[in-house]
């Protein structure tokens, strides 16, 4: 229905990357939908001769997924099959460490559950979860050509009880200043910074050689047709919203700050669209059929100028 092409060509890059984000795997993203997403990604990887797959967070929709044996097994099978095509490098998102479904635990962040399971995932040598919680060396992937830093953000950068404020921005800046030097300390590499929430990127100074990929914002929660009409702005039509004290999304903000980042010569940031646009835990999920179920970016160095467009698939 949309069939638009997304390519971000970066001069001097030799690795070919496919990046996608926000799968929000749950009982509503299984069966035909998960199969079509996997089949599409596998086909694109083969056609484009992809070297690595980047995943930018929110692999699961809620920690409840990890408590369900069948869902957990289906997700691991999905990742193992994907990693068989190309190595998968991923970062942690807010949904990966939180409970978002109904019940007494709704809104709680329990990161230990995610990190225990992430270690199980990494028993597959072709799956890498970049996170400083596993040790400083586990935050960086380096294959001798490409160097990738994964920033899994401090918990207060994802508040579920209050809107993000100055404290969150300060936490992001302090964390970034500690880990970013690790990315470019080895010369002669193609540098990538992966993180889930790009909201606070303006608070840190980034080396121009670093390409930044993020998710989380769901590209303003608008269909691609409307998104194309909004290319004059770097912000989204509708932001992802914020939460009341019960952890539920209550409001959506038109032209919210940070709802979208488009790359340009001076600011090499790309916020990807998402696999799942509407929250599966809310009534808004009924509207998700109007949106594409998969979008992705292909990053390469085929041309001398940075170019940007987008590709979407209905699943």
How far is 60 from 82, CA to CA, in rounded Å?
16
pTM tops 0.75: yes
DSSP state of 238: B
Q: Which residues, including other chains, have CB under 8 Å from residue 169's CB and lie 6 or more apart? A: 200, 203
The bridge status of strand 7-9 relative to strand 210-214 is: unpaired
Concatenating the DSSP letter of every residue in 127-181 gives: EEE--GGG-GGGGEEE-SSEEEEEE---GGGS-SSS---HHHHHHHHHHHHHHHH
The pLDDT profile of the chain, 315 residues, written as one tens digit per residue, is: 455 566 778 878 899 999 999 999 999 998 888 998 999 999 999 999 999 999 999 999 999 999 999 999 999 999 999 999 999 999 999 899 988 876 777 778 889 999 999 999 999 999 999 998 888 788 999 999 999 999 987 777 775 544 455 677 888 888 888 889 999 999 999 999 999 988 888 888 888 889 999 998 876 666 666 766 776 766 666 666 655 555 555 666 666 666 677 777 777 888 888 888 777 877 778 877 777 778 888 888 876 666 655 566 665
How far is 193 from 299, CA to CA, in rounded Å?
13
Closest CA to 176 of 214, 146, 145, 142: 214
- Coil, strand or helix at 249: strand
């Amino acid at each position: 229905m949309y069939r638009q092409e997304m390519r971000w060509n970066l001069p001097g890059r030799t690795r070919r990357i496919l990046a996608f984000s926000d799968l929000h795997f749950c009982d509503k993203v299984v069966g035909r939908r998960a199969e079509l997403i996997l089949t599409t990604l596998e086909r694109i990887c083969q056609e484009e001769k992809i070297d690595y797959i980047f995943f930018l967070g929110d692999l699961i929709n809620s920690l409840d997924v990890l408590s369900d044996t069948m869902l957990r097994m289906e997700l691991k099978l999905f990742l193992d099959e994907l990693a068989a095509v190309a190595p998968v490098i991923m970062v942690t998102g807010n949904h990966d460490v939180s409970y978002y479904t109904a019940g007494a635990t709704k809104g709680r962040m329990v990161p230990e559950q995610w990190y225990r399971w992430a270690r199980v995932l990494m028993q597959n040598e072709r799956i890498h979860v970049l996170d400083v919680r596993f040790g400083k060396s586990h935050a960086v992937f380096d294959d001798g050509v490409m160097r990738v830093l994964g920033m899994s953000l401090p918990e207060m950068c994802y508040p579920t009880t209050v809107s993000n404020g100055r404290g969150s921005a300060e936490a992001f800046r302090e964390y970034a200043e500690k880990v970013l030097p690790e990315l470019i300390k080895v010369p002669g590499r193609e540098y990538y910074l992966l993180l889930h929430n790009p909201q606070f990127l303006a608070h840190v100074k980034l080396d121009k050689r670093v390409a930044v990929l993020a998710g989380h914002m769901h590209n303003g929660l608008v269909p691609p047709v409307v998104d194309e009409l909004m290319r004059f702005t770097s912000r989204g039509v509708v932001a992802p919203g914020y939460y009341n004290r019960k952890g539920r999304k209550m409001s959506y903000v038109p032209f919210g700050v940070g709802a979208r980042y488009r790359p340009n010569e001076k600011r090499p940031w790309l916020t990807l669209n998402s696999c799942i646009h509407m929250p599966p835990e809310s009534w808004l999920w009924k509207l998700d059929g109007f949106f594409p179920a998969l979008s992705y970016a292909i990053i390469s160095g085929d041309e001398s100028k940075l170019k940007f467009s987008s590709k979407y698939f209905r699943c």
